[in-house]
Chain A
Amino acid sequence: MISFNNVSLIYPNSVKTIFENLSFTIDEGEMVLVIGATGSGKSSLLRLINGLVPHHTGGILAGDITVNGLSTTTTKPGGLAHLIGIVGQNPAHGFVTDTVEDELVFGMEALNFAPDVMRKRVEEILDLLSLTHLRSRSISTLSGGEQQRVAIGSALVMHPKVLVLDEPTSALDPIAAEEVLSILHRLVHDLGLTVVISEHRLERVIGFADRIIAISSDGSAVIDIPEQILKDSPIAPPIVHLARALNLDSVGTSVREVRRMTTHLRDFTPLENIDRKFNEKVVVEVTKVSHSYGGKIALRNISLDFRAGEITAVMGRNGAGKSTLFKSIVGYHSPSSGIVRVLGEDPVKLQGRTRLSRIGYIPQEPSDLLIHTSVAKECSASDRDNGLPEGATMEFLSRLLPTVSPDSHPRDLSEGQRLSLVLAIILCSAPDILIMDEPTRGLDYQAKTILVDTLTSYARNLGKCVLIATHDVELVAEAADRVVFIADGDVVADGHTIDVLLSSPAFAPQVAKVMSPAPWLTVKQALKGVSNVTGKDSVQ
């Protein structure tokens, strides 16, 4: 269906080759997963398939790419519109019209389809993706998962033979991601569609993939079945790392497989030796806080303390009240009733440098705080704002990101690099509390490791208080000491990470699901636990 013959690609004004002599074929009805570190060219590979690269971006392409016999060098993306449906990373950026039905027909109208054909196809797609009840809704009022379904629908309505998806779940919470992926799974099986998909969070998609294309940073790529690739790929879901660390004979791609391979390791009662002690020093006191917006209650009488030296994960559905809680803590507004104190002071009254040295806040889009035109300017502005000696921020940044050039524009950095830059700006003034909203959206495993290391050393070594709002259970398992779960403005669970995560199967990380009932959340804990209990060196 898709074949790449000796493909090489260089972007204009760049010395780095993105791909070097790439050759592979993808058969009809296959689901192929593209993996690689950020910046390795996953998006470029996907956009090569329908000719957006190089027709839309510029660049020099050598070799030949054909899809269903059509070469992308001679056919423009528009000419492949009936053959290839492509869904971008952020569905909201690709919407052309404002209502669901109009969006679905946009492509068909452009290709001059007959009206009766369009009517039939729209109904068919509305049913297939369960969008019927949303047909006349305005797209901007839909949730992230619904928007992604509309984007997939408007690609499928053209009856393409190939569907290309660039990180379809990176902007979604786990429930919405599940909804989108299960629909994709059904499409592959029911329609025999060829699907090429890229995704950071492998644990979500690995089960569906027939083959994997792994792109390495030198521009080469291998294509093989998941079990082969995952044997030694640095990019792998937690259960694969677990299987490797435990020296299992093969790697499994699902919890069930790995669980069956580790029966002999779980054949004992694990020792209860979890340290549940919390730190004493309270940094943030939230006392009986309630807040409502125009009659809608966002927080109901919440009392919480956040302590120094501790990372707390605040979890809960979108709209549960996490942001409102954070807004009250940073002093964006005074709550309707109740008291918030940061080190004994009202955060609303904190101003200027005192504020910067007390509260560090990183929004969901870290780049919202970046307003200068180069990394160096951003850093020196931060030195001025925080009253630090010249070069302090830059030095902090170079510990997080040794390779970044000071002249590069913040917008040209990858998501992970941008987050590191904002972290450096915020952390170099050593605020007493650090608050982050959804920090792992769009981060690859490598960037996540940097984040986890930075956060844990900030909390443990410097004794600061860290608050994270997140949906990412793997991050919570790796970094958090304590989990607060909020639903509908109420605190429904508050306790040690292990207790909260293990009490519900929906929130258990992969390792915990494999090792249950043993209370281990991460590969590291499982390794330590296994060697403690068996007493022998069964692991590396």
Chain B
Amino acid sequence: MTKTFHPLTWWVGAVALAFAVLLSENTIINLLVVGGVSSVVYLVNKNSVERTPWSGGLWFAMKIALVIVAIRTFIGVAIGVPVPGTTLFELPILYLPDWMAGIRVGGAITQERLFFAVSEGIHIATLICIFAAATSLTSPHRLLRQMPIFIYEFGVALVITTSVLPQLVASASRIKTAQRMRGITRRGWSGVALALLEESLARSLDLAAAMDSRGYGFSRKRSRYKREAFSARDLTLIGSAVILIPASLAVFS
């Protein structure tokens, strides 16, 4: 088993990459970046023993990103200011009242307009994918555990809150399946919601009792299990990420 990177490493990398992408405004580079980060995530997670519910984050984010590209393209093409250029096809124009002058719905769809809208969408999607990839590579919980000690307490509280979420999703789908197998379909989500609410109330009482009997909040000071150290590999990756920022400044602006 290879040692995993320090959780901050991936995030520093993600921020630097996002910076470069923001400056570049080049669709080809954006697509290359998405391809790059997803293959890194795939390779790292394939060899990793650590399977957190977050590991699948990137694939989920990619689906969302596709939806965003689609919506952005639709809006960019159908609504807004006409862009001159080669006309691909014409949409009927929807006339708006006088006070909304300057905004047009429909009209000529030019190649330039379509290209502009798609690349805008891809730009946003790339940023989402970069940060989702960082989440997939290190559980945000690991990152929270590296927080400086004065906000560590807050970090622990956040870890506790978000640990419950996957369980909640699992319970919801279990209840829904049970009700569907019984043949209850018409009640929709209201039946699930009530059962789920009651279960999570019972669960949170149990959780509070468990935390209480394990001494949470009893001692005024809290210690920290282990601080992860930066290894040479971490420093190399962070170093190259930091170089990326001035490099992209020089190239793109």
A residues with CB within 8 A of B: 47, 50, 52, 55-56, 76-82, 84, 86, 88, 90, 92-99, 101-102, 105-115, 118-119, 122, 136-138, 140-141, 154-155, 158, 326-327, 330, 332, 350-352, 355-356, 359, 361, 363-365, 367-371, 411
Which stretch (B91-99, B104-112, B176-184, B240-248) binds chain A?
A: B176-184
- The main secondary structure of chain B at its interface with chain A is helix
Contacts A141-B51, A369-B178 hold; do A96 and B163 have CB atoms under 8 A apart? yes
Q: Return chain A residues, CB-CB under 8 Å to B145.
A: 102
Q: Return chain A residues, CB-CB under 8 Å to B49.
A: 136-137
B170 contacts chain A at the CB level, 8 A cutoff: yes
* Shortest CB distance B150–A (Å): 15
| Most chain A Cβ neighbours within 10 Å, of B52, B170, B202, B223 | B223
Q: Please provide the chain B residues from 202 to 241 with a CB less than 8 Å away from any CB of chain A in the complex.
A: 202-203, 206-219, 221-226
Q: Is the CB of A56 within 8 A of B212?
A: yes
B175 contacts chain A at the CB level, 8 A cutoff: yes
Cα–Cα distance between A93 and B216 once the two chains are bound (Å): 16
For B225, give its contact among A79, A118, A351, A371 (CB under 8 Å). Answer: A118
Q: Is the CB of A94 within 8 A of B206?
A: yes
B141 contacts chain A at the CB level, 8 A cutoff: yes
Contacts A78-B216, A79-B218, A411-B198 hold; do A363 and B178 have CB atoms under 8 A apart? yes
Q: Return chain B residues, CB-CB under 8 Å to A95.
A: 163, 210
Cα–Cα distance between A108 and B221 once the two chains are bound (Å): 11
Cα–Cα distance between A376 and B194 once the two chains are bound (Å): 17
B residues with CB within 8 A of A: 49-53, 139, 141, 145, 156, 159-160, 163, 166-167, 170, 174-175, 177-184, 187, 190-191, 194-195, 198, 202-203, 206-219, 221-226
Contacts A110-B222, A327-B181 hold; do A82 and B215 have CB atoms under 8 A apart? yes
By beta carbon, the residue of chain A nearest B206 is A93
| Most chain A Cβ neighbours within 10 Å, of B198, B208, B215, B222 | B215
Shortest Cβ-Cβ A-B pairs, 9 listed = A78-B218, A81-B215, A94-B210, A363-B178, A93-B206, A368-B178, A107-B214, A105-B225, A371-B191
Cα–Cα distance between A330 and B178 once the two chains are bound (Å): 11
Q: Is the CB of A368 within 8 A of B223?
A: no
* Shortest CB distance B201–A (Å): 9
Q: Return chain A residues, CB-CB under 8 Å to B179.
A: 368-369
CB < 8 Å A-B pair total: 175
Q: Return chain A residues, CB-CB under 8 Å to B216.
A: 78, 96, 106-107, 110
Q: Is the CB of A118 within 8 A of B223?
A: yes
Q: Is the CB of A368 within 8 A of B174?
A: yes
Q: Return chain A residues, CB-CB under 8 Å to B190.
A: 371
Cα–Cα distance between A332 and B206 once the two chains are bound (Å): 33
For A361, give its contact among B170, B182, B219 (CB under 8 Å). Answer: B182
By beta carbon, the residue of chain B nearest A101 is B225
Q: Is the CB of A52 within 8 A of B159?
A: no
- 14 A-B residue pairings within 8 Å (CB atoms): A52-B209, A80-B213, A102-B141, A108-B225, A114-B223, A137-B50, A138-B52, A140-B170, A155-B214, A363-B177, A365-B178, A368-B175, A371-B190, A411-B198
Cα–Cα distance between A370 and B141 once the two chains are bound (Å): 35
Q: Return chain A residues, CB-CB under 8 Å to B175.
A: 365, 368
Q: Is the CB of B222 within 8 A of A363?
A: no
Cα–Cα distance between A315 and B205 once the two chains are bound (Å): 34
| Most chain B Cβ neighbours within 10 Å, of A77, A113, A118, A122 | A77
Q: Return chain B residues, CB-CB under 8 Å to A114.
A: 223
For B212, give its contact among A78, A93, A106, A332 (CB under 8 Å). Answer: A78
For A115, give its contact among B214, B219, B225 (CB under 8 Å). Answer: B225
For A110, give its contact among B167, B181, B183, B214 (CB under 8 Å). Answer: B214
Q: Return chain B residues, CB-CB under 8 Å to A355.
A: 183
Q: Return chain B residues, CB-CB under 8 Å to A109.
A: 156, 222-225
By beta carbon, the residue of chain B nearest A354 is B183
Q: Is the CB of A138 within 8 A of B224?
A: no
Q: Is the CB of A138 within 8 A of B50?
A: yes
Q: Return chain A residues, CB-CB under 8 Å to B214.
A: 81, 96, 106-107, 110, 154-155, 158
Cα–Cα distance between A371 and B141 once the two chains are bound (Å): 35
Q: Return chain B residues, CB-CB under 8 Å to A350.
A: 183
* Shortest CB distance A142–B (Å): 10
* Shortest CB distance A322–B (Å): 13
Q: Return chain B residues, CB-CB under 8 Å to A365.
A: 174-175, 178
* Shortest CB distance A514–B (Å): 38
Q: Is the CB of A107 within 8 A of B215?
A: yes
Cα–Cα distance between A481 and B117 once the two chains are bound (Å): 68
* Shortest CB distance A125–B (Å): 13
* Shortest CB distance B209–A (Å): 5
Q: Return chain A residues, CB-CB under 8 Å to B180.
A: 332
Cα–Cα distance between A3 and B145 once the two chains are bound (Å): 40
Contacts A77-B212, A119-B226, A368-B179 hold; do A110 and B218 have CB atoms under 8 A apart? yes
By beta carbon, the residue of chain A nearest B160 is A96
Q: Return chain A residues, CB-CB under 8 Å to B156.
A: 109
By beta carbon, the residue of chain B nearest A364 is B178
Q: Return chain A residues, CB-CB under 8 Å to B159.
A: 97-98, 102
Q: Is the CB of A361 within 8 A of B181?
A: yes
Q: Is the CB of B195 within 8 A of A52?
A: no
Q: Is the CB of B141 within 8 A of A88?
A: no
Contacts A115-B225, A140-B166 hold; do A98 and B53 have CB atoms under 8 A apart? yes
Q: Is the CB of A115 within 8 A of B206?
A: no
